Amino acid sequence: MYDVAHLSDLRHTGGSAASLVAEVRAQAAAGLTTVLIHVPADDVPHTRPFDRRVAACLREGLADLAHDDEPELAARVLLIRRPQVVTGKPRVHALHTIVVLDEPPADFAEVRTRVQRHLGPDVVWAPAGPEVRAQLPGAVLPATDWHDSGSHIARLASLGVLSRGVVTTSSVRKARPTRHVLLVGDDIARFRAIARHLPGDLEAVVVAGSAGLADAHAAGLLTEYLPAAAELGVADDRWTGFVRDRLRHLIQLYGPQAVLVGGVPHDGIAAAIGEHPGPRWLWLRPAMWRRGTGGQWAARGALFAGILEPGEFAAAGDEGWTTTARAGVSTVDPITELPAPRPRRATEPTLLCRGVEATLPGFTVVEAGPHELGHVALAVSRAGYTSFHELIGARVPTVFVPDPSAADDELTRARFAAAAGVAVCATDDEAAAAALERLADPAAREALSRRCAEVAFGNGAADAAAWLAGFCPRRSEVEAGSAR
C-alpha cells in the first residue's frame, strides 16, 4: 500500500504541477511512498509529454508511476488535482480522498457530482487558497484552505500518514552515514513493523523469498532475494552452500552491523554465521510452536548474540519448546503494523476473509490492511501470528479458523481467544459459517469488540526496533567505547 497516490493529468504544466511536485518531494523526504496515476484529459494533445518536473520526480525514483494495466492500487491518501479528468472509477482504493482545487473547473457542480458518484460522498474538496474559494460561492468547502493547513507532511500526519523520519533529499542523503541491518526471512509483516521504527540513519535491507519480496518492496524497503531450494531446483545440501554464499555476498555489499534472522536458522544461516562472525547475528524467534515440534532449533540459539521473541496474546496457552528456553531471551509486546488505537468506524456491513473463503448474506467481502481494519465490520481468518494480533488489536469481531498444518499452534491461539471472549473459534467450515451467522447480529459483534478493548495489548514494534538498534552502535559510539 502506498502512503499517497496523486491522480491527475501529469502532462499539465503550471501551478498545479508545481504543487504536485513539491508534495511528492516532501513525501519522499519524509520517507513516504508515492504513486502517480496519470489520467489523460481529452483536451490535451495525446503526444504531449509529462511535465518535466514530474518526469524528474519519476527519474529520481521519488515516486512510482501506476501501470495502465495494473489492478487496483491501494493508498492511504488519494490526492486528486484537475478533478475534471475523473470520468470513471479510478483504479485506486484509498482511506482518504481529497480533491485539491488549484483552480476550480468551469463546471464545478457537475464535476463534483461525477467525482462523488465514482468515489463516494466522503471526498473532501479543498480549495488551494482564498482566490479559488472566492470563485466558488455557495460551495460546501472545508474551513481551511489547502495551502494554509500547515506543512504538507503535517497535513498527511493529521490523516494518519506518519513520516518515517527518513531524510531522503539527495543533497542531504549523500552526507548521511548510513548504517545497515539485514532482515533475513519471510517474516515480512514484522520486518515492516520494526523497520518503520528504526532510527533514520539505520537502513533495513530485507532479504526475503519470493513470497515476501513484493510486500517488502511495496513498503518502500530495500529488498534482496534469497531463492528457496525448490525454486533453484537443487538438493538441500547444495542449497545450504548457496545460502551461505549469497549471505556472504550481501554482507560484503552492505556491511551490516547486525543481521536479524526471522523464522528458523536453517543450515545455510548457521554456515553463514560461522563464516561471518563480524555482524551481530540476532534471532527473531517465533513462539507458540505446536507441542513436540521445533525442538531441534533450540541449540541454534547459541549461535546468536541476541534473541527477541515477539509477544503472543495467547502466551498463557503456549506449550511450545520456547517456553522452557527463555533464559537471556528478550520479549516485547506483539509486533504489528497497527496504527495507534482509534475509534472503530465500521459503518458498512463488510466481511474480511484472510486465508479462509466465506460469504455472509448482506455483507460485502473486502480486503483490508492493518490501517484499514477500523472499517471492517466482521472477519474470518486463519490464526497466524499477524492476522491474529492485527484483528484482535484492531478490535475486529473475528471468527478464527485455525490451520492444523501450520507450523505454529493456531488451534491454541484460536481457542485462547475464544476463552478470553475476544473472538470465536471454529475448527471447520460448517462451524465457521454458523459463527458468522451469529455475528451478523450487531450486538454480538459489539460485545466481541468491547471485550477486545478491555484486554488490549500494546505494540512491540518500537521496542523491537530499539532492541535491534542497540546492537548497531554508531561509529562514534564504537570509537568512544574503544577509547575507554
Partner 1 sequence: MLDEPDAADLAVARWEVATLTGRLRCVEDERDAAVRDRDRNRELVLALRRSRSYRLGRALAGLARDPVRAAPAVARQLRRPPAPRSGARAAAMPARIYVAVGLSRPGAHTLIRALRQRVLVEADHLPVVVTDQPTLRHLQVPGVVLEYLPDPATWSRHEPGSDWETLLAGRVAQLCRDHRAADAVVIDPRDPPTLARLLVTDRRVGSLASA
- Please report, as ranges, the residues that interact with partner 1 according to CB under 8 A: 28, 59-62, 67, 69, 168, 170, 173-174, 178, 203, 210-211, 213-214, 216-218, 222-225, 227, 231-233, 242, 245-246, 249, 253
Q: Which is nearer to partner 1, 216 or 356 (CB)?
A: 216
User: Do the Cβ atoms of 410 and 403 come closer than 8 Å?
Assistant: yes
Query: Minimum CB separation from partner 1 for residue 410, in Å?
Result: 23
CA distance 143 to 102: 16
User: Do the Cβ atoms of 387 and 399 come closer than 8 Å?
Assistant: no
Q: What is the DSSP letter of 440?
A: T
Query: Minimum CB separation from partner 1 for residue 298, in Å?
Result: 31
CA torsion, ordered 69, 357, 340, 126, to nearest 10 deg: 40
| Grid coordinates belonging to 476 | 562514534
Element (H, E) at 97: strand 92-101
Q: Which is nearer to partner 1, 118 or 249 (CB)?
A: 249
Q: Which is nearer to partner 1, 3 or 312 (CB)?
A: 3
Query: Minimum CB separation from partner 1 for residue 248, in Å?
Result: 9
Q: Which is nearer to partner 1, 169 or 293 (CB)?
A: 169
Query: Minimum CB separation from partner 1 for residue 75, in Å?
Result: 18
Query: Minimum CB separation from partner 1 for residue 215, in Å?
Result: 9
Distances in Å between the Cα of 318 and the Cα atoms of 51, 290, 294, 306 are: 58, 8, 13, 22
Q: Which is nearer to partner 1, 51 or 203 (CB)?
A: 203
Only one residue has cell 501501470, namely 67
CA distance 390 to 368: 11
| Grid coordinates belonging to 387 | 492476522
Please measure the distance between the N-terminal and C-terminal CA atoms of the chain and give it in whole angstroms: 46
- Please give the biggest Cα pair distance in the chain: 74
Query: Minimum CB separation from partner 1 for residue 189, in Å?
Result: 16
User: Do the Cβ atoms of 398 and 414 come closer than 8 Å?
Assistant: no
Q: Which is nearer to partner 1, 242 or 471 (CB)?
A: 242
Query: Minimum CB separation from partner 1 for residue 267, in Å?
Result: 17
Q: Which is nearer to partner 1, 215 or 409 (CB)?
A: 215
Rounded to a whole number of angstroms, the CA Rg of the chain reads: 25
Bridge partners of residue 276, in order along the sequence: none
Query: Minimum CB separation from partner 1 for residue 227, in Å?
Result: 7
Q: Which is nearer to partner 1, 178 or 323 (CB)?
A: 178
Per DSSP bridges, beta strands 364-366 and 258-262 are unpaired
